[in-house]
Amino acid sequence: MSSTWTAELSPDSTGRRNEVERTVNRLKSFRAVATRYDKRTYVFHGTVTVAAIRLWLRP
C-alpha cells in the first residue's frame, strides 16, 4: 500500500508559507542564529528576537 499525500493549498496559505520561509532565510543571515553557538535555549531565543527586531527595523 503506498501512501500519497496531496495538499490542497489555498493562495493565502501558499503566500503566507512563502513569507515565513523568506523570513527564516533572512534570520539565518545572522551568524549567531545560523550557527547556534548558544548552549542555553533562552539565550538563543534572545538572539533570534534581536535578529528579528533588526530585520523589522530595517528600512
**Residue 38 burial (C-beta neighbours within 10 Å; 0-12, 13-18, 19+):** middle
pLDDT above 60 (res 1): no
- pTM of the full predicted structure? 0.64
Number of domains in the chain: 1
Structural domain harbouring 37: 27-59
Tell me: the pLDDT tens digits for 2-59?
Answer: 566 666 777 778 888 898 899 888 888 888 888 877 788 898 899 889 999 999 998 6
Going by the DSSP 8-state scheme, the letter that residue 42 receives in this structure is H
Question: Would 2 be classed as within a structural domain?
Answer: no
Question: Would 7 be classed as within a structural domain?
Answer: no
Question: Would 31 be classed as within a structural domain?
Answer: yes
Question: Would 38 be classed as within a structural domain?
Answer: yes
Question: Would 57 be classed as within a structural domain?
Answer: yes
Please check whether residue 38 is in contact with residue 47, taking contact to mean a CB–CB distance below 8 angstroms: yes
pLDDT at 57: 93
Please check whether residue 47 is in contact with residue 54, taking contact to mean a CB–CB distance below 8 angstroms: no
Which cell numbers hold the place of 7? 495538499
**For the chain, what's the residue count?**
59
Question: Would 42 be classed as within a structural domain?
Answer: yes
Phi-psi region of 22 (alpha: psi -120 to 50; beta: other; left: phi over 0): alpha
